[in-house]
Amino acid sequence: MRDLFDDIDIDDIGHDVTLAPGAMLLGGFARSRESALITEVHAIAERAPFRHLITPGGHRMSVAMTNCGNVGWVSDHRGYRYDAIDPDSGRPWPTMPDVFVALARDASAKTGFMDFRPDACLINRYEPGAKLSLHQDKDELDLDAPIVSVSLGLPATFQFGGFKRSDRPERHRLRHGDVVVWGGPSRLAFHGVLPLADGEHPLLGRQRINLTFRKTR
């Protein structure tokens, strides 16, 4: 039996892996749309620049982020929440691009979640050393819809665990263009990203961009 801490290395484009009931890694699924996705990320960041959020406990997150869609995910001393207004600019978040919506819907449908209609996309920027601790995505009012997570740029080690933080997570190597979808019985699984190793990606340089699509309402 494979050790739970062994990395699962996906080398072949299109190689899909079931992570758990209702959860799947779609190898290279977004690769054919990489140029359009990256162009839109740059356009969104011009209107709503990346920033390092402060947790309710006063800690600065190592991952920089921004949002697009009807609402964005924000954090401050009042807590974690979704808000239709970018607190830095006082304006609504940029509209979610059509290429984002199409990718999220196509990936969710391939995993068995039909008619997914995301209203928020969290855009995370990881630089070497940045990480995301194990957590659950539970701020959404609609927990029937899946989470769709798209990796661009440097490879990362994704942790996908159980329903308690103490459950041992499996480690999965995510490369540029990989998409992970989880919902149904795995919707509230703990997950995270280990510290990003340094490197140079031909399109994005020394960073990883992660698009996380959600239906919040």
pLDDT at position 14, please? Answer: 58
Give rounded-to-5 percent helix, strand, coil for the chain. Answer: 15, 35, 50
- What stretches of 48-163 show up as alpha helix (H) in DSSP? 98-110
Percent of the chain past pLDDT 70, that is, above it, reads 94
pLDDT at 58 over 70: yes
The Cα 217–Cα 215 span in angstroms is 6
The domain ranges of the chain are 16-214
Q: Which residue has the tokens 């490879």?
A: 155
pLDDT at position 77, please? Answer: 86
pLDDT digits (tens, 9 = 90+) for 139-167: 999 899 999 999 999 999 999 999 999 99
pLDDT at position 165, please? Answer: 93
Mean pLDDT taken over the chain: 93
pLDDT at 43 over 90: yes
pLDDT at position 71, please? Answer: 98
pLDDT at 137 over 50: yes
pLDDT digits (tens, 9 = 90+) for 65-110: 999 999 999 998 888 999 999 999 999 999 999 999 999 999 999 9
Do 64 and 124 form a contact (C-beta atoms < 8 A)? yes
pLDDT at 3 over 90: no
Class of domain 16-214: mainly beta
pLDDT at position 13, please? Answer: 52
The Cα 101–Cα 67 span in angstroms is 14
pLDDT at 8 over 80: no
At residue 168's C-alpha, the angle toward residues 185 and 57, to 5°, is: 90
Total residue count of the chain as it appears in this document:
217
